[in-house]
Amino acid sequence: MIEVIGLTRRFGRSAAVDDLSFTVAPGKITGFLGPNGAGKTTTMRIILGLDRPTSGRATVNGVPYRTLARPLTHVGALLDASAVQGGRRAEQHLRWLARTNGIPSTRIGGLLELVGLGEAGRQRVGAFSLGMKQRLGLAATLLGDPEALLLDEPLNGLDPEGIRWMRGLLKSLAAEGRTVLVSSHLMHEMAVTADHLIVIGRGRLLADTEMTRFVRPGRSLEDTFMDVIGSAS
């Protein structure tokens, strides 16, 4: 379980995240929605101990991420799929990640197959398309067989087949009882993927609800999202 409690992150005089609280429950896909600059990435970075809050806190299974001894075995995170060393081969990248996190490398071949990169494992990551990097990033998140996944816009760069594949994979990971938090601007896709939604605007919580309760009768997720964002600004 991931908990964000009274989280605030200020940059100078403006608050990127403003007294935000929510819980991400296991066994379902939680969509993390908000317009550009709403504070989604900042929140995820703080959950992962990559940034410090001005006040408040975030915990994974009840403790701050920084205190986890082998974090990849608890949380798999994909924030920026392009942030990989282009000179490494895909397999080498995963091997290096496994070694530095005390994870056996036995899962690497299977994970490359799982994400559709079975044939590309020997290729250098620098030659990968964005969609291939997203697939590699997802393999990296699963290396430690974590209970929780945090994915920041993982659909960017994926083709229609890739988007459908990602949807199926996320659903099966949630069905295994994992906690899945995924941000995206693709409302049509979120409408058929997420079970629960956390919607933020200007760093503040606008909705924390089941998908079926959020979407207004006769309106699409996109329509409802625009209504909620519009009435908050």
Ligand X SMILES: Nc1ncnc2c1ncn2[C@@H]1O[C@H](COP(=O)(O)OP(=O)(O)OP(=O)(O)O)[C@@H](O)[C@H]1O
| Residue numbers at the binding site for ligand X (CB under 6 A) | 11, 16, 34, 36-42
Cβ pair 68, 103 in contact under 8 A: no
Q: Round to whole Å and give the CA distance between 36 and 18.
A: 15
Which residue, 41 or 193, has its beta carbon nearer to ligand X? 41
Which residue, 58 or 97, has its beta carbon nearer to ligand X? 58
| Main-chain phi, psi angles of 19, to 5 degrees | 55, 50
Q: Round to whole Å and give the CA distance between 195 and 25.
A: 11
Q: In the bound complex, what is the minimum distance in angstroms from residue 207's beta carbon to ligand X?
A: 15
Beta bridge partners of 32: 183, 198
Q: In the bound complex, what is the minimum distance in angstroms from residue 177's beta carbon to ligand X?
A: 27
Which residue, 11 or 96, has its beta carbon nearer to ligand X? 11
How many CA atoms within 13 Å lie on the side-chain side of 98?
18
Q: In the bound complex, what is the minimum distance in angstroms from residue 58's beta carbon to ligand X?
A: 14
Which residue, 45 or 178, has its beta carbon nearer to ligand X? 45
Q: In the bound complex, what is the minimum distance in angstroms from residue 110's beta carbon to ligand X?
A: 32
